[in-house]
Structure 1
Amino acid sequence: MIVAHLGVAVEVLFDDGERHQVRVKRSSGHVVGDSVLVRGEVLERRPRNTELRRRDGRGAVHLVGANLDVLGVVVAPRPLPPSGFVDRAIVAARAAGLQPFIIVNKEDLDGAAELTAELRALYGASLPVFSLSAKAGVGLDLLRQFMAEGHRGAFVGTTGVGKSSLLNALCPDLGLAVGELCEARGVGRHTTTVATLHSLAGGGELIDTPGFRDFGLVDIVVDELIVHFPGFEQAMMVRCRFRDCRHRAEPGCAVTALVEKGALAEGRYQAYLDLLSEIENAQDEARRREWKN
């Protein structure tokens, strides 16, 4: 299994516990979590069970990890997540067959209690929300118990939310570099530069990924958004009149009916509409590229 990607080489963990580096091209497509057959300096990748991808602000697609089953979305009161970041990560995880969960780090900072309460109100009915302080070592036990169920996952979050501090707290022998926030800009500095996989003492595995500020969706279609958008679970129990309902202004829409009754918050509905427009625009752009080709 590939346990580290170093750019021009990967580190492979063999079944007998040995570790070796194998040179690869930067464009090889290999990613941490991949199961591979090694023949000399040649890697043959076995089929992936799952893969998580994201699109950056320039439109480039990045593989976050392979053969995961959970995804931790890490947020903090400083820096706050960009608008739509949490929703995009949750939709991407669910569409890829992963179970998402949320971690509110830096619970000792001002505003953390309010952020946790807000996120639990928005997402707590459909996925786990953990509140902790990696730096102070507080609130980690529930997260350890969750990962010890045999999960392999990754943490995603914007730069500066404390993913490396969290991994250091869960794996004390790692000693990953930890950066400070740039106070003038209110954003963090990148400390993780390569992706690595680590085994937790109590069970479970985590991939440490470089920080990023964008989590654009990749190849997510409208039908997937409708099924996986957090907050629509109740609406999915009631059928809309039309099977292809996009929950805008169609008659007999179960979602808009919930909004009108106050059972679905206007803010949650607007967040869905924003993502819906984003995905529709991406699909239209993809069709235009196909026509040009």
Structure 2
Amino acid sequence: MKNKKKKKSRDNVGGTSCSAPEQKGVIVAHHGIAVDILFESGERRMVKIKRRAGHVVGDNVLVQEPRLTRLPRRTELRRRDSRGSVRIVGANLDVLCVVVAHLPSPTPGYIDQAMVTARESDLLPVLVINKGDLKESEKFIAETCAIYKDIVDVFVVSAVTGQGLDALEEFMAQGFRSFFVGITGVGKSSLLNAICPELDLRVGELFEAGNRGCNTTTVSTLHTLKGGGELVDTPGFNEFGLVDVSPRDLAGYFPGFEQAMETPCRFRDCRHRTEPGCSVSTLLQEGKISQERYTTYLEILDQLEAGEARFKTRR
């Protein structure tokens, strides 16, 4: 993973006198004007913060009442929402688990944008296909595995029957802090309840109209697993807008282009469209990159280039 500049620590100032002993902990839940902190001593309590203090679940902090200081982050996960705003949604993560299902099916490019985000953030992307016990899932599972099984770890699971959960739990028990995302209705809460029953997350029903579910997670929370590792549950991510990925850099993060990136293109700023001497085009012609993969890449590239053009226009 590439090296990044360490993030500066940040204070949340709530007073002028700091006479209480200093304690180190990690933020395990964020409630807007307060965060839930698990301290190294095992104590857990709420600490008030300023609403826009910038703290997120996973942040390591030092607390000396009434001051809370955020320690430098090892990694951070950021996403762009539907309004174009950039949000940091988790800190000090290791793995991004992208949960999908045949219904509701992921929007075009969702899986790839999530994986690009993970790689750009120095996280390991993992694909979790839920509802693997359903016969109607078979086609979706086969098609999805055919695309991603040689690129990332893929786990086919069922929150209902327990299928595949042992393998997923064994993976997480390596000590990873895993951040789970998925569009509303894929059964993420049911899956996390199956992995960690003490979570007792509320599970929503899937609406028949449009096969969309209701979002049952409203607050991001961090949980320690008995078998090892940690998981972060977060509200449904119905889209995954990219942050800090330029059109030029997209191919280097795009799942399925790994072999092409081993051979430099003729031009350093190649965007892998029609440029001569393009390694992606060569592998596409040889059948080593599927047309479907390439089409998805171009769709995401178009979005990034449009965003780049809008930014230049505003300047």
Please tell me whether residue 200 in structure 1 is matched to residue 200 in structure 2: no
Q: Which moved more, 1:243-252 or 1:111-120?
A: 111-120
CA contact (8 A) 1:37 1:43 kept: yes
CA shift, 1:27, in A, is: 1.6
AA aligned to 2:248 is D
How far apart in 2 are the matches of 1:103 and 1:219?
25
Q: Which moved more, 1:195-204 or 1:236-245?
A: 236-245
CA contact (8 A) 1:7 1:194 kept: no
AA aligned to 1:85 is Y
Query: Deviations 1:227-268 (Å, cap 9, x if unpaired)?
Result: 110010111122211122110000011111111222211111
AA aligned to 1:278 is Q
CA shift, 1:282, in A, is: 1.6
How far apart in 2 are the matches of 1:20 and 1:282?
42
Q: What corresponds to 1:286 in structure 2?
A: 311
Q: What corresponds to 2:19 in structure 1?
A: none
Q: What corresponds to 1:20 in structure 2?
A: 45
Q: What corresponds to 1:221 in structure 2?
A: 246
How far apart in 2 are the matches of 1:123 and 1:232?
12
Q: What corresponds to 2:200 in structure 1?
A: 175
AA aligned to 1:178 is V
State, as a whole percentage, how many aligned pairs show the same letter: 56
Q: What corresponds to 1:156 in structure 2?
A: 181
TM-score (norm 2): 0.89
Q: What corresponds to 1:273 in structure 2?
A: 298
Please tell me whether residue 58 in structure 1 is matched to residue 52 in structure 2: no
3-state SS of paired residue (2:294) = helix
How far apart in 1 are the matches of 2:161 and 2:125?
24
AA aligned to 2:119 is R
Please tell me whether residue 113 in structure 1 is matched to residue 118 in structure 2: no
Please tell me whether residue 47 in structure 1 is matched to residue 72 in structure 2: yes
How far apart in 1 are the matches of 2:52 and 2:254?
32
Please tell me whether residue 256 in structure 1 is matched to residue 281 in structure 2: yes
**Where does the alignment leave 5 or more consecutive residues of structure 2 unmatched?**
1-25
CA contact (8 A) 1:164 1:176 kept: yes
Q: Which moved more, 1:234-243 or 1:64-73?
A: 234-243
AA aligned to 1:142 is A
Q: What corresponds to 1:88 in structure 2?
A: 113
How far apart in 1 are the matches of 2:132 and 2:226?
24
Q: Which moved more, 1:119-128 or 1:81-90?
A: 119-128
CA shift, 1:113, in A, is: 2.1
Q: Return the match for 2:268 from 240, 243, 261.
A: 243
Pairs within 5 Å for 1:69-80: 69-80=94-105
CA contact (8 A) 2:133 2:163 kept: no
AA aligned to 2:185 is G
User: Which has the greater radius of gyration?
Assistant: 2
Q: What corresponds to 1:32 in structure 2?
A: 57
Q: What corresponds to 1:140 in structure 2?
A: 165
CA contact (8 A) 1:95 1:224 kept: no
3-state SS of paired residue (1:167) = helix
Query: Deviations 1:159-189 (Å, cap 9, x if unpaired)?
Result: 1111111111111111110001111121110
CA shift, 1:143, in A, is: 0.4
3-state SS of paired residue (1:58) = coil
Query: Deviations 1:182-240 (Å, cap 9, x if unpaired)?
Result: 11121110101101001111100000001131111112112331111001011112221
CA shift, 1:124, in A, is: 1.3
CA shift, 1:57, in A, is: 1.6
**Where does the alignment leave 5 or more consecutive residues of structure 1 unmatched?**
none
Aligned residues: 290
Q: What corresponds to 1:125 in structure 2?
A: 150
TM-score (norm 1): 0.96
